[in-house]
Structure 1
Amino acid sequence: MRGACKTALVLALAAALAACADGYPSEDGALILSHDMKLEKAIGAMHHLGHQRHLHYHWHYELLPGCVLEAQAKRFLRNREPVEVALRRSATVVEKDVTTGSHTVRVLPSDDTVGVVVLEGVGEHDALQMKWLLDFLPRHCGT
């Protein structure tokens, strides 16, 4: 009986570990993005992407009047100053760091070649989801 219990325990542990991504259980599962999502859901999805455990900073977002995104990277005792960027007439770009393989999402207003970093240190899939959300947000801005 002891051998059967050990085998069952090992199998249960293996199944639990296989259900984890990068050692962490998935929080809410995959994001479901759609063109009819409400602003609150879009901002919530951005927070989900910006609050992953492996990130150096947790990102917080708010859509301000005039279709301006405020983004702030927070870390215990090392918060960055909030940045603001106009989303209208802007391009959202995803850049890959060839040394780490991680991705950065940047918003480039039409008159700016440097732009504003709004998320960094994520995988390609998450970066592309954030790009989609940033390109989607202006739909919720008044004219």
Structure 2
Amino acid sequence: MSYEDLIKHTVARRPAAWELLGVGAVAYDPTRDRVVVEWHAEPRHCHSTEGHPKGGIVQGGIVTGWLDAAMATASLLRGEYLITVASLEIKVAFLLPAHPGLYRTYGKVVRQGRSIGFLEAELRDANDVLIATASSTAALRPKSPAVASPA
């Protein structure tokens, strides 16, 4: 199955949590072999909103969710949706605060074996400024044939 088909599958079946996180477009960058997911940060994603000149600071768990979603999606695409991906650990480096606005996560597979995946992601703002990075170790399990079909 092509990456284009796999992205269509991702968009058609994106998790409800993505809506809560403010998901936008989802794409695959074949040049860099990575998933690209857009996020729209809103005041509801923020703390410290009262009187903040930029509308608040996006809560760290939201930022982590954005990064995790990109990494897991990269792994699912690599496994052509025939696997499940469960995070065993995630390490996040918060380099700058995120505020309401447009962000993109770039998720990639560093190495993917039969049962363990090593993943990385970056979060960048609309001006391509690096906001946060993440690395993750994930447990990979085959789906049953009845569940595995991306059709």
TM-score, scaled to structure 2? 0.30
* Rg larger in structure: 1
Structure holding more strand per residue:
2
